[in-house]
Amino acid sequence: LSVGRALACDLVVTEPFVSRRHATVAVARGLVEFTDHSSTGSYVVAGDGREYELCRRTMVLSGEGAISLGEPSGGHGVATLHFVVEARGRG
C-alpha cells in the first residue's frame, strides 16, 4: 500500500508536509512493515503512547497505534493514519 500526495499512490494524502511517495505498508514474512520514504519523516505512536520518529527507515507495526505523516502527532492539520494489527491463527 503506497501513501503520498501523488495520484498514483493507493492512499492519496494532500497535506503540505506529505511527500509525493511518502511511505509504504507491506506484509513480509508475516509481519506488517511501515517504511518511510520521505524527507520530512513519519511519526509512529504505539499503543503504549511512545512515539518513534522514522525518516527513510522501516518499522514493524504491532498492536494498535497511529502514524503521523511529515509532522509529529497532535498538530493541527497533521495527516494521521490509525492502525490495528491483529494476529491471525493458522489453519
- Domains in the chain (CATH in brackets) are 2-85 (2.60.200.20)
What is the chain's pLDDT, residue by residue, as a tens digit (91 residues)? 999 999 999 999 999 999 999 999 999 999 999 999 999 999 999 989 999 999 999 999 999 999 999 998 877 778 899 999 998 765 5
User: How many CA atoms, within 13 angstroms, populate the side-chain half-sphere of residue 76?
Assistant: 0
Going by the DSSP 8-state scheme, the letter that residue 44 receives in this structure is E
Question: Which pairing describes strands 2-4 and 11-12: parallel, antiparallel, or unpaired?
Answer: parallel
User: Is 63:85 a contact under the CB 8 Å cutoff?
Assistant: yes
